[in-house]
Amino acid sequence: MEDNVKEKRPKFCINDHVDILLEILKRLDGRSLCVSACVCRLWCTIARNDSLWEHLCFRHVSPPPSSGVRPVVVALGGYKRLYMVCVRPVLRRLGRLRLAGDSDRVRRVWTRDEVQLSLSLFCVDYYERLGRLGGGGDASGSSLMFLCKPVNV
Amino acid sequence: MKRDHQETIGGAGNSMANKAESSSSSMATGKGKLWVEDDQDAGGMDELLAVLGYKIKSSEMADVAQKLEQLEMVLGSEDGISHLASDTVHYNPSDLSGWVQSMLSELNNLPSTDLDSSTLLSNNQDSNPSTMTSLDFPINSQSKAFVDDSEYDLRAIPGVAAYPQREFDKSNERKRMKLTLVGSNTAPTLAVNSIQSSNSSCTPSSPQAIMAVSGTLSEPTRPVVLIDSQETGVCLVHTLLACAEAIQQENLKLADALFKHIGVLAASQVGAMRKVATYFAEALARRIYKIFPQDHCLDSSYSDALEMHFYETCPYLKFAHFTANQAILEAFANASRVHVIDFGLKQGMQWPALMQALALRPGGPPAFRLTGIGPPQPDNTDALQQVGWKLAQLAQTIGVEFEFRGFVASSLADLEAEMLDLRPPEVEAVAVNSVFELHRLLDRPGGIDKVLGSIKAMRPKIVTIVEQEANHNGPVFLDRFTEALHYYSSLFDSLEGSGVTPTSQDLVMSELYLGRQICNVVACEGADRVERHETLARWRTRFDSAGFNPVHLGSNAFKQASMLLALFAGGDGYRVEENNGCLMLGWHTRPLIATSAWQLAAEDSRLR
């Protein structure tokens, strides 16, 4: 009797259904996405999928950015890097200034201008990394360091 | 000048709540009798104060004001009588003169020297200076005559020996009234405030470590300069200016004596004030002892490195690049081939952002050609080519057709339009960009005119200029010095406020970058002095008379600039202002750099 019950109810494991997993992960915010990458190897691989991060970056931008953006971003280091290095700090800073209350959460909705600014800074970051790899100048500085520093708002 | 100050500020509160507020307005009315007479009815209460809830006879106002000042000053000292403020019982608080009388009578047993002494609040530069300004009100007639609005009273002192004594007398006779400006826009530095009105200085909002002067009063011959850093701050500025004046008058012995004094004073300061004073002192020393710095052209790689740190620490260069790029982008809106001529390529930090914006342009990127101009390198390395190579790599990554050419020129005036291999305007749109380069040409007459002529010959669609907003090119050394002191004090202040940890290499290098400019403005002359900054108004006149029309930087540029500034820690200290189509970035109320855009005037342009 017990064996029948076990057999009739198939064990559901989300890891067998990667497409559902993707759909769920698509709706997460950045921090949760990073946390999910620590769950298991499969999740780690999936969470590194750049399209998830692309979705995260441009999810709330309307109209959606043109098709020319993707190759540029990918070439400059990918959407995950774009999010981590530029979009997240930019939104956190600008969001914090706008919302008096909810300062812990990164603002979900952002404007094209903010995205554009993030892209510009991302490009500058790439250029500086070029410089460092090329051996010119000292490796200590990064013009985006100001984004990492805590804001005394 | 002080009266204007107090009347505009009147009405602010401080830790003593309403008392100081009414006292400040009563001070104003006490001194400006004309105003009082307009408001009072015959023999009655002052109407304005009645509105506030205080009943004071107009005839008694000046008297009440004086007593309030004394009271405020005494209560602020740490003699332990501040408890009187809460312990004394008041039955009729709206009767201000009665209250003051009762308070003062409580204090009557105190030695009179304390009532005459000034409250010196120690200056703590780091504790939120941006919200406070205090004004000095000399209250007795002797000090009114004594208090000078010029900063040059030290001129009259023969030698240094008399200096501390006299300084001490000044502090004796001045009273200070604390007024808070909520959300003040005035620049927080001690230096700037004390230059604007020689009697104002910054104080922290909480009375930290308030120094009672009673100790010093008992021994009037002891020099007081090291006890109160706020007072020494004012003193320091005075000494710097006096030294500069002595140099101007070729009185090098006096200058030398004052210079040594500066060293002592600067050591007692902290923060931005100390650094500014140190750099200016060094520059003065170079001028006095004629140890001129090395020729600047030789160490351009060093100055490039310093500039990179400056780029990272504070938003000035980024602001310059982003606003200029926006103007160029808008001018290139429909062009399929574009050519940018950069008068000072350095590390090429401006161009990645422009290339990225061009790459994502709706309709696809144009072909992008960049001509970079740079100074000759001491070791014959081709720095321009290296930068060009990096930019080419970036261009290839993002899919923009790119071409680069580097030109070495020791001065922009050596440049001719024909050298640049320009193509006709139908084929390619040209933009000329100059960030902090044009002012170097002002050392000889005709230099700038030649360059403006060359620019016109290039037939650009747009010319973007970024320059420091300061007047460091006047004929009189002392004026230049004073201006530079204001300007660099604001700059150093903004560095302090930027949230960078004090000992980080970035901050030190950025300050060194500015320090070299200071040295050049103060110590060099003739062809060596390249930092000949001029204000936007003068550049406007120059460009107008050379045949250019202004192009207004649009709201896009303003928005981008504002967002960029908001990203920086200390972002609320930076201000973007729009000035007749030009954008200016400043620290609090002081504009520091200005971006402007120009196009050829109609009669000079061909196919538009």
**Out of B312, B399, B560, whose CB is closest to A145?**
B312
The C-alpha angle B133, B139, B144, rounded to 5 degrees, equals 95
Separation CA B500–CA B271 (nearest Å): 13
User: Contact at 8 Å (CB) between B125 and B190?
Assistant: yes
- Taking an 8 Å cut-off on Cβ atoms, the answer to whether A146 and B394 are in contact is no
- Taking an 8 Å cut-off on Cβ atoms, the answer to whether A143 and B355 are in contact is no
The pLDDT mean for chain B works out to 72
pLDDT on residue B75: 63
pLDDT on residue B326: 92
Beta bridge partners of B372: B342, B406
Q: Which residue of A has its CA nearest to B350?
A: A124
Helix (H) or strand (E) holding B342: strand B337-342
Taking only the tens place, the pLDDT of each residue in B367-403 is 999 999 998 887 777 888 989 999 999 999 888 999 9
Taking only the tens place, the pLDDT of each residue in B304-319 is 888 888 888 888 999 9
- In the predicted model, is pLDDT for residue B130 greater than 60? no
Q: Is B576 left (phi over 0), alpha (psi -120 to 50) or beta?
A: beta
A50: exposed, middle or buried (C-beta count within 10 Å: 0-12, 13-18, 19+)?
Answer: middle
A151 touching B (Cβ < 8 Å): yes
DSSP H stretches of helix in B58-116:
61-76, 83-87, 96-106, 112-116
Separation CA B558–CA B327 (nearest Å): 11
The set of residues, in sequence order, having a beta carbon less than 8 Å from that of B262 and lying 6+ positions away, is: B236, B239, B240, B243, B277, B281, B284
The half-sphere exposure of B531 on its side-chain side, counting CA atoms within 13 A, is 23
User: Residue range B472-489: average pLDDT?
Assistant: 91
Separation CA B108–CA B111 (nearest Å): 8
Q: Which residue of B has its CA nearest to A135?
A: B386
Taking only the tens place, the pLDDT of each residue in A42-59 is 888 888 888 888 888 877
B346 touching A (Cβ < 8 Å): no
For residue A149, which residues of chain B lie inside 8 Å, CB to CB? Answer: 499-500, 569
Three-state SS string over B265-314 comes to HHHCCCHHHHHHHHHHHHHHHHHHHCCCCCCHHHHHHHHHHHHHHHHHHC
- In the predicted model, is pLDDT for residue B584 greater than 80? yes
- In the predicted model, is pLDDT for residue B363 greater than 60? yes
- Taking an 8 Å cut-off on Cβ atoms, the answer to whether A141 and B309 are in contact is yes
- Tell me the shortest Cα–Cα distance from B506 to chain A, in angstroms: 8
B562 touching A (Cβ < 8 Å): no
Which of B307, B379, B397, B494 is the best substitution to test chain A (most A C-beta atoms within 10 A)? B397
Position with higher pLDDT, B166 vs B348? B348
Taking only the tens place, the pLDDT of each residue in B316-338 is 999 999 999 999 999 998 889 99
pLDDT on residue B20: 39
The set of residues, in sequence order, having a beta carbon less than 8 Å from that of B398 and lying 6+ positions away, is: A71, A72, A75, A76, A123, B355, B356, B359
Taking only the tens place, the pLDDT of each residue in B275-289 is 899 999 989 988 888
Q: Is B398 helix (H, G, I), strand (E, B) or coil?
A: helix
User: Contact at 8 Å (CB) between B471 and B483?
Assistant: yes
- Tell me the shortest Cα–Cα distance from B366 to chain A, in angstroms: 14
pLDDT on residue B450: 92
| Cα B414 from chain centroid (whole Å) | 34
pLDDT on residue B464: 95
What is the pLDDT confidence band of residue A145, given thresholds at 50, 70 and 90? low
- Taking an 8 Å cut-off on Cβ atoms, the answer to whether A126 and B506 are in contact is no
For residue B398, which residues of chain A lie inside 8 Å, CB to CB? Answer: 71-72, 75-76, 123
- Tell me the shortest Cα–Cα distance from A137 to chain B, in angstroms: 7
User: Residue range B459-464: average pLDDT?
Assistant: 93
B312 touching A (Cβ < 8 Å): yes
The half-sphere exposure of B560 on its side-chain side, counting CA atoms within 13 A, is 26
For chain A, helix, strand, coil in percent to 5 are: 65, 0, 35
pLDDT on residue B295: 58
For residue A117, which residues of chain B lie inside 8 Å, CB to CB? Answer: 560, 563-564
pLDDT on residue B153: 42
> Which residue type is seen at B425?
P
**Out of B364, B505, B568, whose CB is closest to A140?**
B505
DSSP A85: I
- In the predicted model, is pLDDT for residue B160 greater than 60? no
- Taking an 8 Å cut-off on Cβ atoms, the answer to whether A137 and B393 are in contact is no
A93 touching B (Cβ < 8 Å): yes
pLDDT on residue B87: 56
Taking only the tens place, the pLDDT of each residue in B212-258 is 333 333 334 444 444 456 677 788 888 889 888 888 888 888 888 88
| Cα B520 from chain centroid (whole Å) | 18
B309 touching A (Cβ < 8 Å): yes
Taking only the tens place, the pLDDT of each residue in A58-84 is 777 766 777 778 888 888 888 888 888
A64 touching B (Cβ < 8 Å): no
For residue B559, which residues of chain A lie inside 8 Å, CB to CB? Answer: 113
The set of residues, in sequence order, having a beta carbon less than 8 Å from that of B87 and lying 6+ positions away, is: none
pLDDT on residue B405: 92
What is the pLDDT confidence band of residue B61, given thresholds at 50, 70 and 90? confident
- Tell me the shortest Cα–Cα distance from A146 to chain B, in angstroms: 6
When mean pLDDT is compared over B169-183, B282-296, B459-473, B548-562, the highest value belongs to: B459-473
How many other C-beta atoms lie within 10 A of the C-beta of residue B506? 23
pLDDT on residue B320: 93
Q: Which residue of A has its CA nearest to B567?
A: A93
B352 touching A (Cβ < 8 Å): yes
A63 touching B (Cβ < 8 Å): no
Position with higher pLDDT, A91 vs A152? A91
| Residue showing tokens 């009578």 | B105
pLDDT on residue A109: 57
Determine which of A75-84, B198-207, B572-581 has the lowest per-residue pLDDT on average.
B198-207
What is the pLDDT confidence band of residue B537, given thresholds at 50, 70 and 90? very high
Position with higher pLDDT, A105 vs B591? B591
Closest to B241 measured CA to CA, from B36, B447, B476: B476
Taking only the tens place, the pLDDT of each residue in B411-438 is 888 888 888 888 888 888 999 999 999 9
pLDDT on residue B60: 76
A vs B: CB pairs below 8 A: 111
Determine which of A127-136, B265-274, B315-324, B585-594 has the lowest per-residue pLDDT on average.
A127-136
Closest to B542 measured CA to CA, from B467, B432, B487, B481: B467
| Residue showing tokens 């009665």 | B98
Position with higher pLDDT, B57 vs B14? B57
The set of residues, in sequence order, having a beta carbon less than 8 Å from that of B588 and lying 6+ positions away, is: B130, B185, B186, B187, B188, B490, B573, B575
User: Residue range B181-207: average pLDDT?
Assistant: 35
Taking only the tens place, the pLDDT of each residue in B178-191 is 333 333 333 333 33
Separation CA B312–CA B300 (nearest Å): 18
DSSP A72: H
User: Contact at 8 Å (CB) between B486 and B195?
Assistant: yes
pLDDT on residue A5: 52
- Taking an 8 Å cut-off on Cβ atoms, the answer to whether A123 and B394 are in contact is yes
pLDDT on residue B98: 75
For residue B349, which residues of chain A lie inside 8 Å, CB to CB? Answer: 124, 127, 143
Three-state SS string over B162-181 comes to HHHHHHHHHHHHCCEEEEEC
What is the pLDDT confidence band of residue B143, given thresholds at 50, 70 and 90? very low
- Taking an 8 Å cut-off on Cβ atoms, the answer to whether A117 and B312 are in contact is no
- In the predicted model, is pLDDT for residue A115 greater than 60? yes
- Taking an 8 Å cut-off on Cβ atoms, the answer to whether B499 and A149 are in contact is yes
What is the pLDDT confidence band of residue B64, given thresholds at 50, 70 and 90? confident
User: Residue range B451-480: average pLDDT?
Assistant: 92
Closest to B85 measured CA to CA, from B65, B100, B67, B64: B100
Separation CA A71–CA A74 (nearest Å): 5
Position with higher pLDDT, A67 vs B259? B259
Separation CA B493–CA B496 (nearest Å): 5
- In the predicted model, is pLDDT for residue A7 greater than 60? no
